[in-house]
Amino acid sequence: MLANLQGWHLIVILAIVLLLFGAPKLPGLARSVGQSMRIFKSEVKTMKSDDPAAAADPATAASTIADPAPVATPVDVTATPVSTDAKPNS
């Protein structure tokens, strides 16, 4: 898919991005994408450097998974009927 991109395709894509986000927002957008990439790389590196013996043992790996959060019990909410009779206060 990306092999068919030519130079003019990239120019059109950049023009569309510029129109959508505007020139003032592009530096912030690039900064946030770069920060996300750094976080992703550090997480991948951390996963690779984890103890490989623990990852090979499925019993140990299963015990390190956190339990899901408890589900809140539903609350019974009943509406109070409202009288639609208009009675003047005299």
pTM over 0.75, yes/no = no
Higher pLDDT, 44 or 69: 44
Whole-number Å distance between alpha carbons of 90 and 86: 12
User: Tell me: the pLDDT tens digits for 18-63?
Assistant: 888 787 887 888 899 899 999 999 999 999 887 565 555 555 555 5
Indicate if the pLDDT at residue 1 is higher than 60: no
Whole-number Å distance between alpha carbons of 31 and 28: 5
Indicate if the pLDDT at residue 72 is higher than 90: no
Q: How many CA atoms lie within 13 A of 64 on its CB side?
A: 8
Whole-number Å distance between alpha carbons of 79 and 90: 29
Higher pLDDT, 58 or 79: 79
